[in-house]
Structure 1
Amino acid sequence: MMMEHKQTILLAPSLSNSSCWRSGTSDAAWTGPGPGELIRAALILLLSLGILCANLLVICVINSRQYSKYIHAQPRYLLTSLASNDLAIGLLVTPFGFLPAVYGCWPYGEVVCQIQALLRGALTQQSAVILVCMAIDRYVCMLHPHRYHKHSSKRYYMRQGCVAVMSTTWIASVAIFGVLVLPRGGYYFNGSGLLACDPFFARASLRILACCCFYFPTTMVLMYCYGSAFHVNKLRLKRVVCVNTPEVVSGGHIERLVAHERRLSTSASRTMAAMSLGFIVMVTPWTIQEVVAACTGSKPPPFLDFLATWLALSNSFWNPFLYWLLNNHFRRISREFLYTKILCRSKPLGTKQHCCSTSTGGLDVCSIAGIDLSGLERCSMERCSMARCSSLSLTNTPPLPWETGHVTHGDVAST
């Protein structure tokens, strides 16, 4: 009896039973939605719009010229890949749950259901793979900065390497889930959780294996890489320098540039670690539910199934939100982008934009004699806040190499 139970093969529910158009009839099987169905549909619609808008903003901002001085090439490629994958989830997966949430049936047909199940599995797995690549990148950058800089300085090869890795992993994810989903009976309409089509596993052991391979290796790699990186950074066992500036710095200015680059690397690592932590928090309830349901052979309550599934999918929205929350440069450039490109208004000007410049690799330098050193604005010395500019003592510090030819010691002394 035990052997027979282990070899039990499950059959996927027939899609015709969940279709809004019953086979052999011309009448729709739709019923009027109630308040619960409307709330579910509203949540799905808002989440889909949030995923689309947030990830489009991330892609546009981090690849803009204004933001290029605040991020290195390798993290930019990886963050763009993650945002593109999340954008695909918000475009090809989550919106298809809107009508089923309202009417409780599948209105799009069997072929769309099959494609939906394939994309649901492949895109979700690809998100985990990209997060792992980001963690490994931060691990190498903070523990082996010289090796990282040696390879990251070759931008063309790094870009080609990122494209090759992302393409290979994407093809592998599609191939694995294609083997599971493309045969008939490899997909079904999940009317309580996703409210769309999911991959169907004929054996409970395969369902447990798929969940564990998705969750546990990803979590272990993320925790190890970021834990080791921040431990080394805290103890300062190495001087982390990930240089991304063409200026030649010599003398006493190298310490300032080293400190700036260390802050830049630590800030990027902290943001990526927060996104990875968000992934773990959001996906854990869904993983526990899937493993328990497969082990016990039971079906979770519809409310809990819906909550756990869509909480895991909402990770595609929280990734851009966490990046916006933890990165002030991203917030500032995002506001400029929204004002100038979307609302067609003039750039919003703040106190720091009037009086201080970050075009020198993030080092704040006040305008002198009414001229902004960035060459972007003209402003008076009276409008410069001493609190913002007191971090640089211009009277005691010789001019930076990029300041020569514009500001002399006599000019500084006269101010």
Structure 2
Amino acid sequence: MLEQKQTILMPPALSNSSCWRSGPITSWSGPGPGELVRAALILALSLGILCANLLVICVINSRRYSKYIHAQPRYLLTSLASNDLAIGLLVTPFGFLPAVYGCWPYGEVTCQIQALLRGALTQQSAVILVCMAIDRYMCMLHPHHYHRHSSKKGCVAVMSTTWIASVAVFGALVLPRGGYYFNGSGLLACDPFFARASLRILACCCFYFPTTMVLMYCYGSAFHVNKLRLKRVVCVNAPEVVGGGHIERLVAHERRLSTSASRTMAAMSLGFIVMVTPWTIQEVVAACTGSKPPPFLDFLATWLALSNSFWNPFLYWLLNNHFRRISKELLYTKILCRPKPLGPKQHCCATSTGGLDICSIGGLDLSGMERCSMERCSMGRCSSLSLATTPPPLPWETGPSCVGVGVGVAGGRESPT
């Protein structure tokens, strides 16, 4: 009877890849055009990740943006941006010098820490995207249960637990000697090393397939149910709002606020799937065949997956007009020290009461009504609004109305126009 033994792989010695290895010093001709291009791409991507995620963290946690997002999605987006910021600070910059010199100049301990962070941070990004998808699923399909039981402490506890679990799993893989190696063709830094091909395949599949399935199911179900719900409530009063109650009012408001946030988060999740798929296919094929991909393809697939940390804030900026407007205002006032730029909404509905506009009175987001109200709002009607007046009723409580109806202000009261 023949015994089938699984091949145990051994990582290449780091001394063979170190810039300070002992032995005769060979002549060094300097980096070529390919090495310089790789280094420039790594440097540009690292700076882009740092700047973009810092902007996201500052804007979504500012007081001006708080009325457009609830606490739980804000915590999740902040956690994702912080995780991507750590990737841009602790993972990607370490590939710059190896891209130029073709060796690892930082030592063995740094290589071990680098491999641990590379595995834990990328896995944590996938976990946060899953938590965001589940949050949007619960918010849009079960809003009453969501508003009663969601809490900031629970969100922080979930993020902390998943982070500890990611570090513990990759610590068990990387911290033993031989659990890391210098990837001189793909990451140009240190990666976790799997002694068996089956472990490498399992790690890739656990990272990619559960995440993809949860994202597609949660967002697909949420948007399908939301589309059916909108068909029922357009041009009619929502029954749960007419019944009164704080929870019903909050649910109706949330349905309008959550649609834009859910679309943005879904686009970020789709970007993750698109960017990570080539790297996952390459890793599975290389592990199954026992071959090594060409250096150019290995570098392209690896850094395309890492570039997801930059595309997340870019997609958020591109698809969320409130985030884009407040980002521009913060850049003008805080960075460039210039007066706040005046947009069309300020020209239409700005008042003398500290910049309060009709699209945000009472903490209510009426930005979806801007297109119609911009054309009909006049300075004479808007200037009569003051902070001392009682908050107006919600738009859907004033009578049957369609999505996108304009809002006028006459004599300090709202009236549909």
Q: What range describes the TM-score normalised by the shorter chain of this pair?
A: 0.7 to 0.9
Q: Following TM superposition, by how much is the alpha carbon of 1:355 offset from its aligned partner in structure 2, in angstroms?
A: 2.4
Q: Following TM superposition, by how much is the alpha carbon of 1:53 offset from its aligned partner in structure 2, in angstroms?
A: 0.2
Secondary structure class of the residue paired with 2:232:
coil
Name the stretch that deviates more: 67-76 or 380-389.
380-389
State the alpha-carbon separation in 2 of the partners of residues 66 and 132 from structure 1.
27
Q: Following TM superposition, by how much is the alpha carbon of 1:262 offset from its aligned partner in structure 2, in angstroms?
A: 2.1
State the alpha-carbon separation in 2 of the partners of residues 378 and 138 from structure 1.
26
Residues 70 and 361 in structure 1, CA contact (< 8 A), matched pair in contact too? no
Name the stretch that deviates more: 71-80 or 394-403.
394-403
Secondary structure class of the residue paired with 1:64:
coil
Pair 229,201 (structure 1): closer, same or farther in 2 beyond 3 Å: same
Residues 384 and 410 in structure 2, CA contact (< 8 A), matched pair in contact too? no
Name the stretch that deviates more: 339-348 or 199-208.
339-348
**Counterpart in 1 of 2:344?**
351
TM-score, length basis structure 2: 0.81
Residues 19 and 105 in structure 1, CA contact (< 8 A), matched pair in contact too? yes
Pair 375,206 (structure 1): closer, same or farther in 2 beyond 3 Å: closer
Name the stretch that deviates more: 2-11 or 165-174.
2-11
Secondary structure class of the residue paired with 1:247:
helix
Q: Following TM superposition, by how much is the alpha carbon of 1:343 offset from its aligned partner in structure 2, in angstroms?
A: 1.1
**Counterpart in 2 of 1:19?**
18
Q: Following TM superposition, by how much is the alpha carbon of 1:380 offset from its aligned partner in structure 2, in angstroms?
A: 16
State the alpha-carbon separation in 2 of the partners of residues 370 and 180 from structure 1.
49
Pair 96,161 (structure 1): closer, same or farther in 2 beyond 3 Å: same
State the alpha-carbon separation in 2 of the partners of residues 287 and 318 from structure 1.
18
Pair 386,107 (structure 1): closer, same or farther in 2 beyond 3 Å: same
Q: Following TM superposition, by how much is the alpha carbon of 1:365 offset from its aligned partner in structure 2, in angstroms?
A: 2.5
Secondary structure class of the residue paired with 2:191:
strand
Residues 345 and 374 in structure 2, CA contact (< 8 A), matched pair in contact too? no
Pair 51,112 (structure 1): closer, same or farther in 2 beyond 3 Å: same
Q: Following TM superposition, by how much is the alpha carbon of 1:348 offset from its aligned partner in structure 2, in angstroms?
A: 1.0
**Counterpart in 1 of 2:415?**
413
Name the stretch that deviates more: 291-300 or 261-270.
261-270
State the alpha-carbon separation in 1 of the partners of residues 368 and 258 from structure 2.
27
Answering whether residue 168 of structure 2 is matched by residue 139 of structure 1, we say no
Name the stretch that deviates more: 343-352 or 183-192.
343-352
Per-residue Cα deviation, 1:260-298 (whole angstroms, up to 9, x for no partner): 542311111111000000000000000000000000000
Residues 37 and 101 in structure 1, CA contact (< 8 A), matched pair in contact too? yes
Residues 241 and 258 in structure 1, CA contact (< 8 A), matched pair in contact too? no
Residues 370 and 378 in structure 1, CA contact (< 8 A), matched pair in contact too? no
Secondary structure class of the residue paired with 2:181:
strand
Name the stretch that deviates more: 38-47 or 370-379.
370-379
Name the stretch that deviates more: 168-177 or 242-251.
242-251
Q: Following TM superposition, by how much is the alpha carbon of 1:396 offset from its aligned partner in structure 2, in angstroms?
A: 18
Residues 370 and 381 in structure 1, CA contact (< 8 A), matched pair in contact too? no
Equivalent residues in 2 for 1:257-336, closer than 5 Å = 261-336=254-329
Pair 71,375 (structure 1): closer, same or farther in 2 beyond 3 Å: closer
Answering whether residue 144 of structure 2 is matched by residue 112 of structure 1, we say no
Q: How many residues align?
A: 405
Q: Following TM superposition, by how much is the alpha carbon of 1:196 offset from its aligned partner in structure 2, in angstroms?
A: 0.3
Pair 353,201 (structure 1): closer, same or farther in 2 beyond 3 Å: same
Pair 37,195 (structure 1): closer, same or farther in 2 beyond 3 Å: same
Q: Which runs of 5+ in 2 are unaligned?
A: 400-408
Q: Following TM superposition, by how much is the alpha carbon of 1:151 offset from its aligned partner in structure 2, in angstroms?
A: 2.3
Residues 15 and 189 in structure 1, CA contact (< 8 A), matched pair in contact too? yes
Per-residue Cα deviation, 1:343-380 (whole angstroms, up to 9, x for no partner): 11111111212322699999962899999999999999
Q: Following TM superposition, by how much is the alpha carbon of 1:381 offset from its aligned partner in structure 2, in angstroms?
A: 12
Pair 391,128 (structure 1): closer, same or farther in 2 beyond 3 Å: farther
Q: Following TM superposition, by how much is the alpha carbon of 1:310 offset from its aligned partner in structure 2, in angstroms?
A: 0.2
Name the stretch that deviates more: 345-354 or 119-128.
345-354
Pair 140,181 (structure 1): closer, same or farther in 2 beyond 3 Å: same
Secondary structure class of the residue paired with 1:10:
coil
Pair 10,66 (structure 1): closer, same or farther in 2 beyond 3 Å: same
Q: Following TM superposition, by how much is the alpha carbon of 1:199 offset from its aligned partner in structure 2, in angstroms?
A: 0.3
State the alpha-carbon separation in 1 of the partners of residues 56 and 196 from structure 2.
40
Q: Following TM superposition, by how much is the alpha carbon of 1:387 offset from its aligned partner in structure 2, in angstroms?
A: 15
Residues 78 and 162 in structure 1, CA contact (< 8 A), matched pair in contact too? yes
Q: Which runs of 5+ in 1 are unaligned?
A: 155-159
Q: Following TM superposition, by how much is the alpha carbon of 1:163 offset from its aligned partner in structure 2, in angstroms?
A: 1.5
Pair 148,227 (structure 1): closer, same or farther in 2 beyond 3 Å: same
State the alpha-carbon separation in 2 of the partners of residues 372 and 230 from structure 1.
20
Pair 143,248 (structure 1): closer, same or farther in 2 beyond 3 Å: closer
Secondary structure class of the residue paired with 1:7:
coil
Secondary structure class of the residue paired with 1:375:
helix
State the alpha-carbon separation in 1 of the partners of residues 364 and 106 from structure 2.
62
Residues 356 and 389 in structure 1, CA contact (< 8 A), matched pair in contact too? yes
Name the stretch that deviates more: 161-170 or 139-148.
161-170
State the alpha-carbon separation in 2 of the partners of residues 5 and 182 from structure 1.
29
Equivalent residues in 2 for 1:55-74, closer than 5 Å = 55-74=53-72
Pair 340,145 (structure 1): closer, same or farther in 2 beyond 3 Å: same
State the alpha-carbon separation in 1 of the partners of residues 166 and 223 from structure 2.
31
How high is the sequence identity, in percent, across the aligned residues? 91
Residues 204 and 280 in structure 2, CA contact (< 8 A), matched pair in contact too? yes
Pair 179,396 (structure 1): closer, same or farther in 2 beyond 3 Å: closer
Root mean square deviation of aligned Cα: 6.2
Pair 357,270 (structure 1): closer, same or farther in 2 beyond 3 Å: farther
State the alpha-carbon separation in 1 of the partners of residues 50 and 237 from structure 2.
31
Q: Following TM superposition, by how much is the alpha carbon of 1:257 offset from its aligned partner in structure 2, in angstroms?
A: 8.3
